[in-house]
Amino acid sequence: MYSVLCLVSCFISLNGMSQGNNLEIPDINMKLRTEARAARQAASVAIHYLNYHHGSPHNVFQLHQLKKASLEIMVNEGRKYHLKFEVRNGRFSNVTKFCTAKVLFYKKSVPDTVLKCNFKDSDGFKEDYEFYLNLRKRMDPVVGYNIPDNFGFIAPETRPIWQLAIVSASYIMWQKSTEVMKYNMAQIQEVHQQIRTDEFLQFTYIVLLHEIPSQEIITCNMWVMWQPKQSPNVKYTCLPSPTESFSEESEFGRPEGME
Amino acid sequence: MKTSWILLNIVLVAAHRQVTYIGDQVLRISASSQKQLNLVKSLEQLQHLKLDFWKEPVRSSLPIDVRVPAKHVSTIKTILKSNNIAHSVMIENLQSLVDEERISTLISELRQNGTYSFNYRYYHLLKEIYKWMKNLADENPQLVRRMRIGRSSQGRAIHVLKFSTGHRRPAIWIDAGIHGREWIAPAVAIWMAKKITTDYGNDPSITTLLNKMDIFMVIMANPDGYVYSKTTDRMWRKTMSKRPGSRCFGVDPNRNFDANFGGNGSSRVPCSESYCGPHVHSEPEIKAIVNFIKKNGRFIVFLTLHNYSQRLMYPYGYTQETPENVEELDMLAHEATEALTSLYGTRYSYGSIVQLINESSGNSIDWSCKQGVKYSYAFELRDEGQYGFMLPRSQIVPTAEETWLAVKKIMEHACNRLP
């Protein structure tokens, strides 16, 4: 295959369609099984990115089905996953939306993500506004601990606070994700609201992230400013995990990986 | 049990003195912090509210049950709501319970203290689970035996429940609770153990199975870790073994097995969640399991329950190589997950550990496979990460019901292929 690609790229360069005079090492493009861990990992990164950017506590998306995945290995530029997938809003929703994404992993950078989904941004912001207005009306700031509690319980009034944390923590999880390291938000340890006079709601959270496959629990302090129809403004610091960097072999068994 | 004594008392009092409990509610309160716990305790001090605690506020990890007189119900709920204290209504109108004809059977059921009055929709304390195990064996003497196979680092018993109708038969192993924080696993194992006892003699498939094979179930493989996750650190995964020279303790029991021990996919760092331990089978819990399985020598199936991710995995984790019956394992995994999904639509993926998660060394199913156990699988139960380890109680029984279908498929397949 390599020699064929070489012939092709040489042919193209002969026709003056490529830039530069050096011999170009061709990129490799391969189709992935949708069950492949690497493909699903790339999809989870795209979904963190989606949830952060959509910025809607009442519209937190999960992967419904990965339809198509391919991997483009670009020498000196990274590994780019091309994905087609369906998402759904919450566990029991039957309504799915279709998305395409390109997720580029390169060394230790934040995964470069380009995402397109087939729903209009104005979908489902009504509940966000109700939540927002209820909080603006309150005189005393929201305070909470252990959400969900140790038994998985979330009081109905606290649920939107939890979902806003997921949307905000998606920013952290998107940034920290690599081809190997995956994240879920495990629990809110603490949340404190700071009352503001402008149109933003402000919260400081301590959230626990579950890191896979190292199985570590990462504690992050997260400062969030939000209003409806906007991605939250998130600043964070995470405490270092006790392990050294986990074995970061690529999924295909070759010991290449992050440098 | 205190509840049954109180209910009996209420019935007797009601019969003699016409006291009514119309509109009285029994609330279950869940204090999520010391602060909230103290607030509930302070309510107890307010005499005029006449609160009657059926389960006293003790620790923030334990539920608090309180009977609230009708006229104070809305006040109490307002106080709880405005302090964000989680609570639910266990009994909406206590009088209706007293009125019902069934009160006497209810009381006798509660007084039984056996596996019939056990709440299967709850994440129990370790001692409640141990008592339940003893009850299950006592209630089913022809089928179930509780055997201690070792002790944990902190001296807690490691029990196995043996389901057997014969002698030295080909055997099935199921373990749960190897990781402290994965509470759904022992909860599902408890439900399944009870199911086996009710199905034997009634369900043809399980009856046939138990007439040909033995089932050995470890409900709680890491009792120390479970207790620590209940009392101190909800996210605790490992055992509680001490490490001289380190402030960190505990070993990941599922990296401690003799299967490429210490290799990639486990950590040599004592503070790490996937610390493999100082040497193979260093953890007494794992040593007990390994010794038992080796001594028995007749295991055909080895299943281990974990959470979360909704996956059914077969070996290996430490290598890309596959077991010699990998095609059969894959096809059976397909059938088992289809059976699981058929109940509530819960979708599982399946494959080898290394394909689905990443490399993992020293894990239990790699070891059991190397020992010659033909059908070795690891379950990662619900969910996919929304609640993760903190799976709500309401999902315990549905998770158990669907998982049971997959477990049954695997056991039946093994049974059908006995020589």
* B50-92 pLDDT, tens digit each: 898 888 887 777 788 898 999 999 999 999 999 999 999 888 8
Asked if the Cβ–Cβ distance from B383 to A217 is below 8 Å, we say no
Query: In the numeric block, which tokens belong to residue A221?
Result: 């302090």
A-chain residue closest to B31, CA distance: A149
Asked if the Cβ–Cβ distance from B391 to A155 is below 8 Å, we say no
Instruction: Give chain B's mean pLDDT.
Output: 91
Q: What local confidence, expressed as pLDDT, does residue B398 receive? A: 97
**With the CA atoms of A8, A9, A15 and A17 taken in that order, what torsion angle do they form, in degrees rounded to the nearest 10?**
130
Q: What local confidence, expressed as pLDDT, does residue A243 receive? A: 58
The ipTM estimated for the assembled molecules is: 0.82
DSSP secondary structure of B177-206: -SSTT-THHHHHHHHHHHHHHHHTTTSHHH
Which residues 218-237 in chain A show a CB within 8 A of chain B? Answer: none
Based on its alpha-carbon atoms, the radius of gyration of chain A, rounded to whole angstroms, reads 21
Asked if the Cβ–Cβ distance from A145 to B36 is below 8 Å, we say yes
Asked if the Cβ–Cβ distance from B355 to A37 is below 8 Å, we say yes
The reply to whether B341 touches chain A by the CB within 8 Å rule is: no
**Of the listed ranges A107-121, A170-184, B110-124, B282-296, the one predicted with least confidence:** B110-124
Tokens 């403004």 correspond to A233
Asked if the Cβ–Cβ distance from B385 to A214 is below 8 Å, we say no
DSSP label of B349: E
Q: What local confidence, expressed as pLDDT, does residue B103 receive? A: 54
The reply to whether B390 touches chain A by the CB within 8 Å rule is: yes
Contact B288, B326 (CB under 8 A): no
Rounded (10°) angle between helices B396-416 and B326-344: 140
pLDDT tens, position by position, B8-53: 555 555 444 445 778 888 899 998 888 999 999 889 888 888 898 8
Q: What local confidence, expressed as pLDDT, does residue A85 receive? A: 96
Strand partners, B405: none
The ranges of chain A with pLDDT < 70 are: 1-26, 91-92, 120-123, 242-259
pLDDT tens, position by position, B329-346: 999 999 999 999 999 999
Query: How crowded is residue B3: how many other Cβ atoms within 10 Å of its Cβ?
Result: 15
Q: How far away is chain A from the Cα of B112, in angstroms, using its nearest Cα?
A: 26
pLDDT tens, position by position, B166-211: 999 999 999 999 999 999 999 999 999 999 999 999 999 999 999 9
Strand partners, A144: A191
Q: What local confidence, expressed as pLDDT, does residue B99 receive? A: 62
Collapse the DSSP code of B87 into the 3-class scheme (helix H, G, I; strand E, B; otherwise coil) and give the result: strand
Contact A214, A246 (CB under 8 A): yes
Per-residue pLDDT band at B315 (split at 50, 70, 90): very high
Q: How far apart are CA B238 and CA B229, in angstroms?
A: 10
Asked if the Cβ–Cβ distance from B388 to A243 is below 8 Å, we say no
Q: Nearest by CB to A249, which of B356, B359, B390?
A: B359
Query: In the numeric block, which tokens belong to residue A147?
Result: 């959400």
Is the Cα dihedral B59, B387, A42, B379 positive or negative? positive
Q: Nearest by CB to B123, which of A151, A186, A251?
A: A151
Q: How far apart are CA B159 and CA A45, in angstroms?
A: 42
Q: Find the mean pLDDT for residues B93-114.
A: 61
The reply to whether A156 touches chain B by the CB within 8 Å rule is: no
Asked if the Cβ–Cβ distance from A215 to B355 is below 8 Å, we say no
Total residues found in chain A within this entry: 259
Q: Which residue from A144, A252, A159, A92 is spatially nearest to B384, judged by alpha carbons?
A: A92
Q: How far away is chain A from the Cα of B355, in angstroms, using its nearest Cα?
A: 6
Cα distance between the two ends of chain B: 49
Q: What local confidence, expressed as pLDDT, does residue A247 receive? A: 40
B301 sits in the region (left: phi over 0; alpha: psi -120 to 50; else beta) called beta
Q: What local confidence, expressed as pLDDT, does residue A25 receive? A: 64
Tokens 């570590």 correspond to A216
The reply to whether A149 touches chain B by the CB within 8 Å rule is: yes
Q: What local confidence, expressed as pLDDT, does residue A104 receive? A: 96
- Mutation target among B309, B390, B394, B397 for the A interface, most CBs of A within 10 A: B390
The reply to whether A91 touches chain B by the CB within 8 Å rule is: yes
Asked if the Cβ–Cβ distance from B273 to A215 is below 8 Å, we say yes
Give contacts of A215 with chain B, Cβ < 8 Å: 237, 252, 273-274
Residue ranges of alpha helices (H) inside B100-176 are: 103-112, 126-139
Asked if the Cβ–Cβ distance from B355 to A35 is below 8 Å, we say yes
Q: Enumerate long-range contacts of B340-346, CB under 8 Å, 24 or more apart.
A: B340/B312, B340/B402, B340/B403, B340/B405, B340/B406, B341/B402, B342/B405, B343/B398, B343/B401, B343/B402, B343/B405, B344/B398, B344/B401, B344/B402, B346/B310, B346/B382, B346/B399, B346/B402
Give contacts of B274 with chain A, Cβ < 8 Å: 213-215, 243
Tokens 């068994």 correspond to A253
DSSP secondary structure of chain A: -HHHHHHHHHHHHHTT-S-SSSPPPPPEEEEE-TT-HHHHHHHHHHHHHHHHHH--TT--EEEEEEEEEEEEEETTTEEEEEEEEEEEESTT---EEEEEEEEEE-TTSPPEEEEEESS-TTTT-HHHHHHHHHHHH-SSPPEEEEES-TTS---TTTHHHHHHHHHHHHHHHHHH--SS-EEEEEEEEEEEEE--SSS-EEEEEEEEEEEETT--EEEEEEEEEE-TTS--EEEEEEPPPSSPPPP---TTS-S----
Give contacts of B357 with chain A, Cβ < 8 Å: 37, 212-213
Q: How far apart are CA B267 and CA B260, in angstroms?
A: 12
B-chain residue closest to A34, CA distance: B349
Per-residue pLDDT band at B93 (split at 50, 70, 90): confident
Q: What local confidence, expressed as pLDDT, does residue B57 receive? A: 85
DSSP secondary structure of A187-222: EEEEEEEE--SSS-EEEEEEEEEEEETT--EEEEEE
The reply to whether B222 touches chain A by the CB within 8 Å rule is: no
